[in-house]
């Protein structure tokens, strides 16, 4: 037995060594096949001799048992956010103010990884736990998921207490592979690698996290049993311990050296295999940091210089017209594909004809493209000096490209098709009706809806509820089990209630919030066939135009037919919101920030409104409560500065008890 135990220890040492060489130092010494042989030998021994299993064995990299929740962990050292500066002028003002008070200083300049922060805690050379940043003071225990990240050492040579902070991210290649797979499976795509990393780290099933190929860069030593004088010393120490440290870190003095280092990082940005969104400048001396001190939510000895939105030039190949569910014709720029802010962009909205004329954008132009908020592609300008001679001014079509009917321009500067039977509108209406915030029909995405429509299974929204399994079995990508699952999901959606149904119908200007407000004031969909504009405008935040849209929609004969069909097919058309007399949040305004552990922001907002509260997108003195989740940012800082009450999801749920 001692021989077995020794072999297990030896295998663990070997696998940890080779993992470090491969994932941290990028200099593997053995082939993947040889590594796998060692790995599966260890798996076999641990299965045969479970008494020798260890929580930090390399075998945990593949993921363990799924959990039903994440426990809270209070950080030993707060994981504070940084003050952002957006120009060299702002950076210079910060440096001048600091050095006027404390004299000339040295600074560590580091690239800022676009991911999510986590703390890793070690004792006696072993990883004890890993926790998300949370609100900076309290995070979530995601140790099982942290252990699946292969660049995180499960054991280190240092035997004292050690806590480090790192940024967990998803490499670009892994992100593109993940989104490609999700597209094949008709699952929602992640907007960018940061969102993908956040969603992956907080999976309840560690096996899912293990499959996502996350990585980490460690950038700060939070606490240790030994003393250090300078930040650069901690970097060397953490590197020696086997941590994957920030790849660019340079000690600088003065404004000129710092801006040169920032420029150097900026030039490398596009070629990196991971996303960065800025540069962090920290005082190098750890003793001086203590002297300079901390602000309310941010340290005074560090700032984050944020890069302006990444812009790239590409060619506008064509302008296509997309017909939306309300009949609006939207011009879409078809671009020569270009990588911007972590993903490949090939299309961008041109909004309307006024936008095209204002920017003077023409087919064939070289255009500058960026992502608004690093998410939504937009055209900034056309490079007129690079314009070909033969380009012409774009004009909106006079007829709908989908149905051929004439279009008109309305008072909102939108060109609109009013043909109720327009195929493009019908398809968009089907997609909207089945979407998550509407009737939330699992498995009924755009591709399946197109398949059903093209094969004559559905023509209208009500046809969705007439589908039977036998109609689906022979269709492409549809087997017996898939057909049964889809029909069951459709049946389950019948009970979503009036608010979701009103939103699903696609009434102009009726979003999720407005639909919930209507359902809170009227008990049955039948009420809307008799409601007046004057009555609707009495509802708080309900304007004249929105009220007119509702009345106009329910005055259409086609609406009467559709509602009768849905009711006959068993779709619930009554409201549960109106029956709620509990108004515990009456007079309160909530602001939500960060990612909540078990619910989406829209779900939390619905609960707030259900109990009489309001939500806002910005924090002010009038804010009652700020509900914070993972990676809460400037809204949390402002709440603390204003003395606004801050709660997490657990406290919010307690308020609902």
Mean pLDDT, to the nearest integer, of 395-408?
88
Cα diameter, the chain: 86
d(CA 563, CA 558): 9
Q: Quote the pLDDT of residue 579.
A: 42
Q: Quote the pLDDT of residue 580.
A: 46
83-306 is classed CATH 3.30.470.30 = yes
- CB burial string 465-477: b at 16+ within 10 A, e below: bebebebbeebee
Q: What six digits make up the tokens of 383?
A: 């490079």
**pLDDT at residue 128 is higher than 50:** yes
**pLDDT at residue 513 is higher than 90:** no
CATH topology of domain 423-495: DNA polymerase; domain 1 (1.10.150)
Sequence-distant (≥ 6) Cβ neighbours of residue 519 within 8 angstroms:
497, 498, 499, 502, 575, 577, 578
CATH superfamily of 2-53: Helix hairpin bin (1.10.287.610)
Q: What ranges do the domains of the chain cover?
A: 2-53, 83-306, 312-409, 423-495, 498-568, 589-656
Q: Quote the pLDDT of residue 529.
A: 92
Give residue 373's pLDDT band: very low, low, confident or very high (50, 70, 90): low
Give residue 503's pLDDT band: very low, low, confident or very high (50, 70, 90): very high
Give residue 252's pLDDT band: very low, low, confident or very high (50, 70, 90): very high
Same fold, 312-409 and 589-656: no
Q: What six digits make up the tokens of 37?
A: 């042989």
Give residue 546's pLDDT band: very low, low, confident or very high (50, 70, 90): confident
**pLDDT at residue 559 is higher than 80:** yes
Query: What would the CATH number be for the domain defined by 312-409?
Result: 2.40.50.140
Mean pLDDT, to the nearest integer, of 162-169?
96
Closest residue by Cα to residue 301 from 366, 231, 240, 357: 231
Sequence-distant (≥ 6) Cβ neighbours of residue 517 within 8 angstroms:
539, 540, 541, 542, 609
Q: What six digits make up the tokens of 356?
A: 């095209």
Q: Quote the pLDDT of residue 374.
A: 58
d(CA 117, CA 168): 6
d(CA 179, CA 191): 9
**pLDDT at residue 132 is higher than 70:** yes
As a whole number, the mean pLDDT across the chain is 86
CATH topology of domain 589-656: Rossmann fold (3.40.50)
Give residue 571's pLDDT band: very low, low, confident or very high (50, 70, 90): very high
Mean pLDDT, to the nearest integer, of 620-625?
89
Q: Quote the pLDDT of residue 466.
A: 92
Q: Quote the pLDDT of residue 572.
A: 92
Judge whether 182 and 175 are in contact, CB under 8 Å.
no
Q: Quote the pLDDT of residue 186.
A: 65
Q: Where are the beta strands (DSSP E) in 397-549?
A: 407-409, 415-417
Please pick, among 112, 371, 635, 638, the residue that the annotation labels catalytic: 112
d(CA 615, CA 604): 10
Per-residue pLDDT of 352-371, as tens digits, reads 889 999 999 999 999 999 88
Is 112 noted as a catalytic residue in this protein? yes
Per-residue pLDDT of 36-62, as tens digits, reads 788 878 888 888 888 888 878 877 777
Mean pLDDT, to the nearest integer, of 412-428?
78
Per-residue pLDDT of 574-598, as tens digits, reads 886 544 456 788 888 999 988 777 7
CATH superfamily of 498-568: 5' to 3' exonuclease, C-terminal subdomain (1.10.150.20)
């Amino acid at each position: 037995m001692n021989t077995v135990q020794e072999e297990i220890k030896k295998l663990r040492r070997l696998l940890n060594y080779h993992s470090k060489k491969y994932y941290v130092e990028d200099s593997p010494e053995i082939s993947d096949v040889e590594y796998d042989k060692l790995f599966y030998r260890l798996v076999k021994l641990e299965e045969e001799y479970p008494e020798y299993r260890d929580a930090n064995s390399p075998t945990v990299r593949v993921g363990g048992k799924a959990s039903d929740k994440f426990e809270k962990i209070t950080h030993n050292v707060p994981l504070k956010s940084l003050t952002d500066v957006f120009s060299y002028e702002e950076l210079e003002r910060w440096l001048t103010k600091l050095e006027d008070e404390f004299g000339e200083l040295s600074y560590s300049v580091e690239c800022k990884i676009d991911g999510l922060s986590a703390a890793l805690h070690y004792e006696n050379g072993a990883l004890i736990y890993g926790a998300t940043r949370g609100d900076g003071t309290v995070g979530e225990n995601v140790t099982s998921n942290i252990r699946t990240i292969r660049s995180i050492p499960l054991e280190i040579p240092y035997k004292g207490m050690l806590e480090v902070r790192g940024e967990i991210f998803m490499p670009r290649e892994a992100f593109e592979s993940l989104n490609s797979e999700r597209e094949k499976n008709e699952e929602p795509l992640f907007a960018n690698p940061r969102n993908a990393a956040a969603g992956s780290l907080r999976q309840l099933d560690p096996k899912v996290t293990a499959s996502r190929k996350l990585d980490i860069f460690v950038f700060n030593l939070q606490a240790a049993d030994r003393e250090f004088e300078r930040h650069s010393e901690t970097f060397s120490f953490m590197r020696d311990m086997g941590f994957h440290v920030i790849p660019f870190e340079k000690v600088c003095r003065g404004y000129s050296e710092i801006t040169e280092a920032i420029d150097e990082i900026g030039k490398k940005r596009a070629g990196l295999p991971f996303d960065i969104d800025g540069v962090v400048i920290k005082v190098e001396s750890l003793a001086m940091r203590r002297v300079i001190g901390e602000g309310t939510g941010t340290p005074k000895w560090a700032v984050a210089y944020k890069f302006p939105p990444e812009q790239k030039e590409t060619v506008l190949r064509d302008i296509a017209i997309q017909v939306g569910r309300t009949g609006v014709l939207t011009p879409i720029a078809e671009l020569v594909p270009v990588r911007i802010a972590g993903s490949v962009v090939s299309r961008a909205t041109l909004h309307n004809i006024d936008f095209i004329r204002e920017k003077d954008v023409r087919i064939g132009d070289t255009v500058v493209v960026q992502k608004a908020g690093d998410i939504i592609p937009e055209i900034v300008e056309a490079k007129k000096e690079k314009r070909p001679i033969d380009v012409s001014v774009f004009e909106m079509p006079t007829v709908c490209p989908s149905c051929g009917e004439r279009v008109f321009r309305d008072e909102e500067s939108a060109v609109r098709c009013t043909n109720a039977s327009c195929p493009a509108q019908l398809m968009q209406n089907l997609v909207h009706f089945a979407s998550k915030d509407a009737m939330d029909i699992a498995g009924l995405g755009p591709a399946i809806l197109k398949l059903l429509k093209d094969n004559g299974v559905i023509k209208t929204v009500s046809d969705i509820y007439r589908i039977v399994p036998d109609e689906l079995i022979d269709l492409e990508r549809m087997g017996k089990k898939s057909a049964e699952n889809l029909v069951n999901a459709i049946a389950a959606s019948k009970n979503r209630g009036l608010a979701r149904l009103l939103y699903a119908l696609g009434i102009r200007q009726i979003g999720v919030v407005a639909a919930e407000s209507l359902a809170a004031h009227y008990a049955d969909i039948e009420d809307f066939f008799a409601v007046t504009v004057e009555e609707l405008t009495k509802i708080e935040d309900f304007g004249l135009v929105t009220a007119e849209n509702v009345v106009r929609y329910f005055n259409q004969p086609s609406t009467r037919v559709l509602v009768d069909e849905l009711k006959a097919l068993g779709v619930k058309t009554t409201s549960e919101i109106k029956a709620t007399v509990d108004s515990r949040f009456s007079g309160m305004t909530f602001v939500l920030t960060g990612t909540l552990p078990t619910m989406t922001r829209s779900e939390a907002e619905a609960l707030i409104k259900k109990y009489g509260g309001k939500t806002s997108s910005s924090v002010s003195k009038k804010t009652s409560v700020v509900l914070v989740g993972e990676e809460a940012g400037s809204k949390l800082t402002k709440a603390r500065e204003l003395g606004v009450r801050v709660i997490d999801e657990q406290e919010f749920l307690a308020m609902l008890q």
